[in-house]
Amino acid sequence: MLDSEKNIKLLFLGPPGAGKTTAIRAISDTSPVSSEVPVTNAEPDGRTSTTVAFDYSTIQLNPNETLHVYGLPGQEYLDFMGGIVGPGALGAVLLLDASSQTLAQDCRTAIEQIARIDPNLRFVIGISKTDLTPAFSMETMYALARRMSLFVPIFCIDPRDPAQARQLVRALLYVL
Amino acid sequence: MQEEHIKHIKMGVAGLSEEIELRISLACGLLAASQIDIELQDWQGNESDILVVDIDSGHGRLAYEMAQRRNLPVLVFPRSGDHDTQYACKLDRDAPAAALARALQEKLQSSAEASSDDVQGLLGICIREAGCNQDLLVKRGGIAMILRHAAGRILTRSVSDLGLAEARLLDGTWLCMTRPVKDPYEHEWLVSRSLDGFLIKACMKYRESLPPLGGKLYRLTRWPDLGSVTDDQDVLRLSSLLQRSAWSADTLATYTKVSADAINAFLWATLASGALARADGNMVKKEGAQLPAAPSSLIQRVARHFGLKLGHSHA
């Protein structure tokens, strides 16, 4: 069920490092207000900063309407934010990192997070860094989708590319 | 009738009673109105385009077995009183000539439509190896690529090789061999891209050259990976429709107003990547049965911002 039309929300979820902040930046009109801080220890994936609360940005649909875009943090200890920010959202984009050693588990965890926000919330899946991960296989994702009886778009994207980030949102609009 | 548009068919009949053969002959006459000229002959193993056999007779049963071995299209009058036998194309013994004519026409049309043997080159390799779980090395001249069907990826030495491969999609000189993986890191230096995305873009380039898939019904078994196919909005729409229910290329073109050759190219590409499958006629209640509900005005406004037109005939 959608919230008031004054508060149109789109969620981005996924584990740290998947590219949520980057994707939001790519599709938004305004630079996201980001709760990023420098990491104190070097991250294996080369990140130098991490989101410690959530990202927020806006997309002006027309002079009277704004789409609010929230990037929910991937850290487990910040999971509670989904219940505050998430209800009433239009849909969700789940971003995953192909180079993660726990890709399938990351996906499962994020889908469970979506279900806690709203069991009926529609979502699409984007996978980043597939071009940098030679061992990556879509079969991992397709097998997981079959086991969980999901029939959702699963796209390999570069979250830095606005066109590819928008492609995920377009796919989401087709499944709503 | 213009001679060049008439289809000439040699039809062999085996084991038919006089009365049934007369009705088949009348049915063939009716097909002349559809520009189909059928030469009927008693089948003795001679060359035929299609057979009509009666399983009640020994001659009919023999002809049926020969047709199966020769991969000939065959229509069957099953044993009297036998309603359960699974023949692909059954005829009703009591059907009037007009109904027989319709059945004949349908069979002739489906036999004439494109199959995977009708495409060559890299596309043909992808279609024929769609279920392969091993890496395939494909080469043409100086281009070498690794197809990983199950992984949904294509690997090349350079981005320019991808472009060259796209341009030679239907070239018949591609070679293919399985390539066992010796070292999990051996592909680390290769350019990796989505196989779905590559095939869709390549097939769209060759849309005018691909044989028509016509009236067969297809359905997506999964969403194709469209992450990199950002220039073509129609593929999202087609995917949305094909994952909800089975469609033929012809009906999709009528419903979506997307050009027939673009739809045909999309179907060929997703067949080749393994995302699309023929829909069993028994499973399909009605073509295009599950159409999406009209989107709310809010979703339409959001869609407009993202360059989509969602409306009454949206997917």
User: What pLDDT digit, counting tens, does each position of B132-151 carry?
Assistant: 778 899 999 899 999 999 89
The answer, yes or no, to whether residue B88 has pLDDT greater than 70, is no
Q: How much is the pLDDT for B72? A: 74
Q: How much is the pLDDT for B78? A: 86
The Cα B245–Cα B280 span in angstroms is 12
Tens-digit pLDDT profile for residues A93-131 = 999 999 999 999 999 999 999 998 999 999 999 999 999
pLDDT band at B310 (very low <50, low <70, confident <90, very high): confident
- Are A163 and B295 within 8 A, CB to CB? no
Residues B113-137: b if buried by 16+ CB within 10 A, e if exposed: ebeeeebebbbbbbbebbebeebbe
Mean predicted lDDT score pLDDT of chain A:
86
Q: What angle do CA B295, B300, B302 make, to 5 degrees?
A: 130
- Report ipTM (2 d.p.): 0.89
Tens-digit pLDDT profile for residues A131-167 = 989 889 999 999 999 999 999 999 999 999 999 999 9
In chain A, which residue's Cα lies nearest the Cα of B146?
A: A134
The answer, yes or no, to whether residue B179 has pLDDT greater than 90, is no
Q: Percent of chain B, pLDDT > 70?
A: 84
pLDDT band at B6 (very low <50, low <70, confident <90, very high): low
Distance from CA of B305 to the nearest CA of A (A): 6
The answer, yes or no, to whether residue B1 has pLDDT greater than 50, is no
The answer, yes or no, to whether residue A6 has pLDDT greater than 80, is no
pLDDT band at B315 (very low <50, low <70, confident <90, very high): very low
Summarize the confidence of residues B226-239 as an average pLDDT: 95
Q: How much is the pLDDT for B34? A: 80
Q: Percent of chain B, pLDDT > 90?
A: 42
Tens-digit pLDDT profile for residues A28-77 = 988 888 766 666 666 666 667 666 667 899 999 888 889 999 998 766 66
Sheet holding B247-248, edge to edge: B247-248, B217-220, B276-278
When mean pLDDT is compared across A120-134, B54-68, B98-112, the lowest value belongs to: B98-112
Find where tokens 């097909």 sit. Answer: B31
Q: Among the ranges A36-45, A79-88, B44-53, which has the highest mean pLDDT value?
A: B44-53
- Are A134 and B225 within 8 A, CB to CB? no
- Are B298 and A2 within 8 A, CB to CB? yes
Antiparallel, parallel or unpaired: β A8-13 and A65-71 = parallel
What tokens appear for B247 in the block? 């469609």
B298 → closest Cβ in A5, A133, A152: A5
Number of Cβ pairs closer than 8 Å across A and B?
115
Residue pair B161/B148 in contact (Cβ under 8 Å)? The answer is no
The Cα B232–Cα B228 span in angstroms is 10
The answer, yes or no, to whether residue B239 has pLDDT greater than 90, is yes
Residue pair B276/B284 in contact (Cβ under 8 Å)? The answer is no
pLDDT band at B198 (very low <50, low <70, confident <90, very high): very high
Summarize the confidence of residues B31-39 as an average pLDDT: 85
- Are B302 and A137 within 8 A, CB to CB? no
- Are A138 and B191 within 8 A, CB to CB? no
Q: How much is the pLDDT for B4? A: 46
- Are B230 and A8 within 8 A, CB to CB? no
Q: How much is the pLDDT for B117? A: 65
Chain A residues with at least one Cβ partner in B under 8 Å: 2, 5, 8, 59, 61-62, 65, 67, 90, 126-127, 130-139, 142, 145, 151-157, 161, 163-164, 166-171, 173-176
